[in-house]
Amino acid sequence: MSVTFGIYIGCSSCCIAVHKDGKSEVVANAAGDRVTPALVSFHDNEVVTGLSAKQGIIRHAGSTIQGVLRVAGVTEEEGCGHGGYEGTCTPNWEGRRAKYSVQRGEKTVTIFPEDVLTHIFTLLKDIASAHTSDKELPAVVTLPGWSSEGTVMAVKKAANRAAFTIMATITHPPAALLAYGLADDNKHNLNVVVVHCGGTTVSGAVLEVAGGLVTTRESITTTTTAGDTITQVLVQHFAKEFYGKYKGDPLENRRSRRKLYNASENCKHVLSTMNTAQVYVESLWEGVDFSTTLSRARFDGLVVSTLANFLTPAKEAVQRCSLDLSQIDKVILTGGSAKIPRLQRMAAETFPQATVLRSIPPDEVLATGAAQESALLLSCPTRATTNTPVSPPSSTVPALATSVFCTLLDVEDAECECVFSRGTPTHSRRTITLPLPAPSPPTCSIVVYEVLDSCPGQDIKNLPKEDAVLAQVDVTNLTTDSKQLRLDFHLKSDGSLHVILQETEAKINRSFVIESDTS
């Protein structure tokens, strides 16, 4: 039976799952860990990756690269963040391309993001090779939704260098659904929320499963709150405790800050499974050792407000879909920070009618889903994690090549609503509401337009160019009591977009069609 792989690669960590004998499971690295730090350290005569690079980060911080996914294959304008972490090597931009300058012995060497990714994939290849005798390693990679086309190409190129055969890349929300076999349900319509709690970003997505077809209705990503934010809360807490005992500030130099950061990160992971964590840092400040204990109850009290922000993108995504929180059927939490019990309880309270799926460790969900997808692409029999029926081989489904937006013309502060994002498959439906100014004007114009997603930094609020407009519809006979316009979009299998426009106060009910040759 064919052996295939699923790979999750993020800014902070990576993970690989193998699909064989009809099931997918995450496999451990040489150290026995199932999740590997996505770090690469360049020493004088060797390149160190994964856990070894993380353990030596205090001594080799200037030559250690982390967060490379943010700058791979993009220009400085497109880059999502600086691509570096405090105390580690940060990229420089030259010719609109990122590069790292690393000191190796007496020479300063230039390292490109694609080279760093290749080292990470090589580490994953060594893990994969222990589970198959085949030289070919077919795999599917799951990437964040904010990844640009350039990032996808850079990841594929690096994976191919490391001897993987990349069959496809998928985003996080569909991978999460595949891990739990929700896409196999052909009888029920489900509204599913996927919350990804990464080290540097938190995202919330709403997906609709109807007749076995998965549609991503909305996805929101934020960098203001993430797993690193929780770690920083602990850093400040321990620094304050240390100062109270020894009247010294361990945050005053880079080396002691990094030591305290590593201890705080380890404490966070321990408290995800244990009720108490022991924290010990040798020679934290001027030769003084630091030792303390933190309970889970105290930890929850410190981070509860931060954890609440983890669910904000998901709640906003549900609101944009014109859904109520009680209409969500399933919630899937992914990412390392999603292992925190308090966050899992808060998710269950936020979506009271939903089942929070937690049978798979959150930091292993995405790799497992990617492995499921790789098996489907090779038509391998699969056995879903939740004992769902065997999945049929996947088929190619036509999808949008651009994103479709809708807004009101000549209305100050008018909202730009995303109707369908790039990659939305046909046949899909979406309902949005456009609020009208008060008092409402007698007439207004609605414009439906497309946006290329190849440039993530572009401003969708700018009026679209003429060649990007799919349709402009004038709405007349509005009353002063008119408050909002309701638009029902139906993307049909032939690529045409059917729209029903309604306004209750003026009793407006119109429909129009955007043919596929213009969309």
Torsion sign across C-alpha atoms 349, 353, 359, 360: negative
What's the pLDDT tens digit per position in 182-213? Answer: 887 666 789 999 999 999 899 999 999 887 78
**Model pLDDT, residue 387:** 36
Using alpha carbons, list the distances in angstroms from residue 270 to 29, 230, 277, 292, 336.
20, 13, 6, 14, 12
- Using one digit for the tens of pLDDT, what is the confidence trace for 258-286? 999 999 999 999 999 999 999 999 999 99
CA distance 168 to 117: 17
Which of 287, 305, 323 is where one domain is finished?
A: 305
371 assigned to some structural domain:
no
The pLDDT tens digits for 393-416 are: 344 556 677 888 888 887 777 778
* Structure confidence at residue 297 (pLDDT): 96
Does one domain contain both 247 and 324?
no
Whether residues 338 and 461 share a domain: the answer is no
Give pLDDT, residue 36.
Answer: 95
Judge if 288 and 342 occupy the same domain: no
Distance, in Å, from the CA atom of 482 to the CA atom of 438, rounded to the nearest integer, reads 8
Average pLDDT, the chain: 86
Do 144 and 200 belong together in one domain?
A: no
Q: What is the pLDDT of residues 444-457, one digit of tens each?
A: 889 998 887 544 44
pLDDT in tens, 82-104: 444 566 788 888 877 889 999 88
Please, are residues 243 and 284 in contact by the beta-carbon 8 Å criterion?
no
What is the reported pLDDT for 240? 96
Shared-domain flag, residues 311 and 301: no
Asked if residue 247 has pLDDT above 70, the reply is yes
Q: For residue 172, what pLDDT is reported? A: 95
Range list of H helices, 210-325? 227-246, 254-270, 296-310, 312-320
Last residue of a domain, one of 305, 338, 368: 305
Token pair of 423 as six digits: 């990659």
d(CA 428, CA 420): 9
| Residue 35 in tokens | 């999740």
Confidence of residue 78 (pLDDT cuts 50, 70, 90): low
* Residue 130 and residue 254 in one domain: no
pLDDT band per the 50, 70, 90 thresholds, residue 4: very high
Question: Which residues does 287 contact at the CB level (< 8 Å), separation at least 6?
Answer: none
Q: Which two tokens stand for residue 141?
A: 């990679």
- Give the pLDDT score at 518: 46
In this prediction, residues 294-316 reach a mean pLDDT of: 96
285 & 316 share domain: no
- Cα distances from 362 to residues 140, 146, 255, in angstroms, run 19, 20, 31
**Of the ranges 162-176, 186-200, 415-429, 494-508, the best mean pLDDT one:** 162-176
Q: Which residues pair with 215 in a beta bridge?
A: 208
* pLDDT of res. 221: 92
pLDDT score of 519: 41
Percent of the chain with pLDDT over 70: 90
Question: What pLDDT, on the 0 to 100 scale, is given for residue 366?
Answer: 97
Instruction: Pick the most confident of 89-103, 145-159, 419-433.
Output: 145-159
Q: How many CB atoms are located within 10 Å of the residue 286 CB?
A: 10
Contact at 8 Å (CB) between 206 and 192? yes
Going from the C-alpha of 300 to that of each of 245, 303, 373, 375, the distances in angstroms are: 23, 5, 36, 40
Is residue 384 predicted with pLDDT exceeding 70?
no
Angle between helices 341-350 and 296-310 (to 10 degrees): 40
Residue 334 and residue 365 in contact, taking contact as beta carbons nearer than 8 Å: yes
Residues 24 and 79 in one domain: yes
SS3 per-residue string spanning 365-390: HHHHHHHHHHHHHCCCCCCCCCCCCC
Cα separation, 432 vs 320, whole angstroms: 7
Assign residue 484 the CATH number of its domain: 2.60.34.10
Per-residue pLDDT tens digits for 323-347: 999 999 999 999 999 999 999 999 9
How many residues are present in the chain?
Answer: 519
Q: Is 176 inside a domain boundary?
A: no
CATH at 356: 3.30.420.40
Note whether 91 and 47 are same-domain residues.
yes
- Calculate mean pLDDT across residues 423-444: 80
Shared domain check, 236 and 218: no
Domain containing 241 — which CATH number? 3.90.640.10
134 inside domain: yes
Question: In this structure, are 62 and 140 located in the same domain?
Answer: yes
Tokens, residue 103: 């000191």
Which position has the token pair 């620094």?
239
Domain count, the chain: 4
Query: Which pLDDT score is estimated for 325?
Result: 95
Q: Kindly state whether residue 408 falls inside one of the protein's structural domains.
A: yes
Q: What is the C-alpha separation between 434 and 405, in angstroms, rounded?
A: 12
DSSP state of 151: H
pLDDT in tens, 351-373: 999 999 999 999 999 999 999 99
Do 152 and 238 fall within a single domain?
no
pLDDT for residue 424 is more than 80: no
Question: How many Cβ atoms are within 10 Å of 494's Cβ, its own excluded?
Answer: 10
Give the Cα separation of 338 and 334 in Å (integer): 6
Tens digits of per-residue pLDDT, 456-484? 444 455 566 777 888 888 888 888 888 88
Q: What share of the chain is helix, strand, coil (3-state, %, to 5)?
A: 30, 35, 40
Give the integer Cα–Cα distance in Å for 117 and 123.
Answer: 10
Tokens of 121: 């994939």
Give domain status of residue 35, yes or no: yes
Whether residue 468 is contained in a domain is answered as yes
Sign for the CA dihedral angle at 349, 351, 353, 358 comes to negative
Q: What is the pLDDT of residue 385?
A: 43
The lowest-confidence range among 50-54, 125-129, 137-141, 392-396 is 392-396
Residue 495 in any domain: the answer is yes
Distance separating alpha carbons of residues 430 and 190, to the nearest angstrom:
14
The answer to the question of residue 514 being in a domain is yes
**pLDDT above 70 for 316:** yes
Cα separations (Å) of 318 from 226, 249, 258, 321? 20, 44, 38, 5
For residue 168, pLDDT beyond 90: yes
DSSP string, 393-422: PP----B-SSEEEEEETT-TT---EEEE-T
Q: Which domain holds residue 339?
A: 183-225+307-360
- Asked which of 154-163, 367-376, 382-391 is least confident by mean pLDDT, the reply is 382-391
